Amino acid sequence: MKIEISRLHFPVTTLGPGKRIGIWFQGCSIHCTGCISVDTWQFGINSVSLDEVKLLLSEWLPKSDGITITGGEPFDQEAAFFELLEFLRPYQQSVLVYSGYSFQELQKKVEMDNGWIDVLISEPYDHTQPQTKALMGSDNQQMHMLTPLGEMDFNSFQSHGLEKKLDVHFEEDRVWMTGIPSNGMTEIVKSAQDDRVFLRHTQGAIKKKES
């Protein structure tokens, strides 16, 4: 089976507790205004073998504390997404999934009680909303604890309130930032420009200037 992936990274420390595997799906049909992941909207540009993805994840899973799946929109690739979730479940690490669909839509789309997703953050990003919740880009978004493992791992995040952090990853000629940026993202953009780099997308793919 094929799966469209924007990127895979380990470790990610800003999208849930512990050192997590980050899986960014490629392709999103929702197109929220103000989305910071515009680079993940287009379908059909990065289709890879799901078996190869599983192989890479198998190397990381013995060292990871959990998995965060975001995008892009994972539920736009239901078959591959569910096969991936089924593969991850035996590792017993908390799986956090971001979706831009409403919880009501997701309940209609899938059986939420199969135990494959521990924590679900639902609802589309709304740039007009305040941004005061940990792990969420706008306050209309909802965190659903779907399993005891999810509650155990993520309840402390909610009790700690808002903590906005970004991981920075250097890859060849790119600098990736992962995490939920605050509204102060513009300061990062300005700082990057001062250092003679420019942002390809506000998602955080900063490409160094050609010398």
**73 belongs to the binding site for ligand SF4 (CB under 6 A):** yes
Query: What distances in angstroms separate CA 130 from CA 50, 59, 65, 117, 140, one per listed residue?
Result: 37, 39, 30, 27, 8
Which of the ranges 71-79, 84-92, 115-123, 191-199 carries the binding residues for ligand SF4, by CB under 6 A? Answer: 71-79
- Site pattern 124..163 for ligand SF4 (x: CB under 6 A): xx--------------------------------------
Q: Minimum Å distance from CB 195 to ligand SF4?
A: 27
Closer residue to ligand SF4 (CB): 16 or 72? 72
Dihedrals φ, ψ of 25, to 5°?
-75, 150
Closer residue to ligand SF4 (CB): 71 or 181? 71
Alpha-carbon span 84 to 66, nearest angstrom: 14
Q: Minimum Å distance from CB 196 to ligand SF4?
A: 29
Half-sphere exposure of 180 (CA within 13 A, CB side): 20
Q: How many CB atoms lie within 10 A of CB 140?
A: 16
Are 155 and 170 spatial neighbours (Cβ–Cβ below 8 Å)? no
**16 belongs to the binding site for ligand SF4 (CB under 6 A):** no
Q: In the bound complex, which residue of the shown chain has the CB atom lying closest to ligand SF4?
A: 100
**185 belongs to the binding site for ligand SF4 (CB under 6 A):** no
- DSSP letters, 110-167, are S-GGGSS-SEEEES---TTS---STT-SSTT-EEEE-SHHHHHHHHHHHHT------E
Q: Which two tokens stand for residue 46?
A: 């990065």
**35 belongs to the binding site for ligand SF4 (CB under 6 A):** yes
Q: Minimum Å distance from CB 38 to ligand SF4?
A: 7
- Residues of this chain that bind ligand SF4 (CB under 6 A): 28, 30-32, 35, 37, 40, 71-73, 100, 124-125
